[in-house]
Amino acid sequence: MDFKGKVVIITGASSGIGAATAVKFAKFGAKLALVGRNVENLKETAAKCENENSLTPLLINVNLADESAVSNIISEVLGRYGQLDVLVNNAGIIENGTIENTSLDQFDRIMDTNVRSVYQLTMLAVPELIKTKGNIINTSSVCGLRAFPNVLAYNISKSAIDQFTRCVALELAPKGVRCNSVNPGVIVTNLHKSGGMNDEAYEKFLEHCKITHALGRAGDVEEVANAICFLASDLATFTTGMNMPVDGGRHAMCPR
């Protein structure tokens, strides 16, 4: 995989899958634009990337739920690099809630970050991706492929991303732009703790992954980053519209 001379935007790059993906792209020579809300964490990610390829990433500190802020991302990237080759829509949030105890506020928060911002940023990026015959990778979830209780709004948002991926892939295929998603299972990140899970509950949750994932464990951010880089690379030039599980086989399992 070689991304020398390629410009890659990664949202949610301040931690977890986004940070690992940024470092992986840097290892393969990419010029990076790292988008996130936590400035200090973004700087840490940038330092790791710079150690890999001696290129200083562009840091863009925005809340992706802020429509006016998102509209400036592409102009900043073009101002620095003059082109765009890969868009990785990775940022996302999760909150617990069933149809009995959720709220419209929760639905709006999750949909604004997980879906609306992806729709907006992709829409703005497409003209530049057409010029370079670039591609788009969306971070979805096994929750987009299967139903799980107590994360209703999150499930809906990820199903929306999967359909968005397929539709955009069909629309842009005639113009040489590919669009795919990765659908991780449980990956060891701060996502669930940020969503309200305490340390004890999270440890039990990871232990339970030995049962809920066919490979007998939760995943690692590196494993998802590898899949993202593969789909974005010239090794996957005939792959588009794919929702790719990176979930230790969880999508294939049924309760007994």
Nearby residues of 108 by Cβ (< 8 Å), 6 or more positions away: none
In the residue annotation, 154 being an active-site residue is answered as yes
Dihedrals phi, psi of 249, to nearest 5 degrees: 85, 5
- 8 Å CB contact between 139 and 191: no
Active-site residue, from 81, 119, 154, 202: 154
The β-bridge partners of 32 are 8
Which tokens sit at 255? 């309760």
| Helix, strand, coil percentages for the chain (3-state, nearest 5) | 50, 15, 35
Task: Give me the residue label for tokens 């940024």.
Answer: 22
Is 211 exposed, middle or buried, given 0-12, 13-18 or 19+ CB atoms closer than 10 A? exposed
- 8 Å CB contact between 97 and 106: yes
CA distance 140 to 132: 24
CA distance 192 to 186: 9
How many Å from the N-terminal Cα to the C-terminal Cα in the chain? 41
Half-sphere exposure for 156 (CA within 13 Å, toward CB): 19
CA distance 193 to 198: 6
For residue 245, give the amino acid letter: P
Which tokens sit at 91? 């940022």
Catalytic positions, written as ranges = 154
